[in-house]
Amino acid sequence: MIGANGQIGTALMPVLQNVYGADHVIASDLFAPAPGNGIFEKLDATNANELAGIVKKYKVTQIYHLAAILSAKGEADPVWAWNLNMQTLLNVLETARAFDLQKVFVPSSIAVFGAHAQKEQTLQNTYLDPTTVYGVSKVASENWSVYYHKRFGMDIRSLRYPGVISYQSMPGGGTTDYAVDMYHKALANEDYVCYLTPDTRLPMIYMDDALRATISLMEAPAEQVKIRSSYNLAGLSFTPADLLQAIRVHFPDFKCSFLPDFRQSIADSWPGSIDDNEARKDWGWKPAFDLERMTTAMFSGLSSLLSKY
């Protein structure tokens, strides 16, 4: 796994260890995580030789490529974000081709959508005109995945993740990270200033659902994987005002004000909800968490982490 210290990698690592065994999963990132979490290799994924060395050393058969510069962070330095996102992707694809790997997972995002996609129930096949360098790089990633599948017969699979909500790690620079921030602030008994307007509705997914979707897709027989760009994936959609109301069920005195910044324009370019019928039809996807259940799970998970550390 590349990018094991990120939001999704942190949560996905123990799931993969449970599926394949701890001694069969290699985590990699720029910095080592806490000790005792399985096999780890320090990796700069922009260095193709380093990546190839790890694949050869462990006889790797699959790669989960989770390293990327996200939407809000990428806008601070678009050229750097593009170069990193593209170079790491091409290194992964070329290494996978050279070593004839069985499967590659390269996630995409709702950031691929822009102003010309329908706002609600955005279809699988629609306009992709992103407004951020992150979205532009993910559209390119989807096209590269299709190219390598058609040209070289490689088994590359992908999901267009909505905003992922989790307690296992801190937010990593995405536009939808306000939701995770709100949970943290409420539990700490602190006020929160949201950078989006209260009525900004966006597609989200709880981490448990995101992980289950990822494993379900990767374990599906190849003939069931009909889409080789990236599957639409939906969990739930809500606004900051909806989330505030859900949090106040647990913390009635929690206060949140709203002061939109540059991230508002990014959010405004994205859909409010996603049509994921292709994923449901092809490999049986169905989300399990609504806003109420997710909120309960978030506070339970965060409380457990705080008591542990």
153: left (phi over 0), alpha (psi -120 to 50) or beta: left
Q: What is the 3-state secondary structure (H, E, C) of the chain?
A: CECCCCHHHHHHHHHHHHHHCHHHCEEEECCCCCCCCCEEEECCCCCHHHHHHHHHHHCCCEEEECCCCCHHHHCCCHHHHHHHHHHHHHHHHHHHHHCCCCEEECCEEHHHCCCCCCCCCECCCCCCCCCCHHHHHHHHHHHHHHHHHHHHCCCEECEEECEEECCCCCCCCCHHHHHHHHHHHHHCCCCEEECCCCCCCEEEEEHHHHHHHHHHHHHCCHHHCCCCCCEECCCEEECHHHHHHHHHCCCCCCCEEECCCCHHHHHHCCCCCECCHHHHHHHCCCCCCCHHHHHHHHHHHHHHHHHHC
Burial environment of residue 260 by CB neighbours within 10 A (0 to 12, 13 to 18, 19 or more): middle
Say whether 195 is catalytic: no
CB 148 within 8 A of CB 154: yes
Distance CA 187, CA 239 (A): 20
Among candidate residues 58, 64, 127, 134, the one labeled active-site is 134
* Terminal Cα distance for the chain, rounded: 26
Ramachandran angles phi, psi of 291, nearest 5°: -65, -40
The residues annotated with a catalytic role in the active site are 134
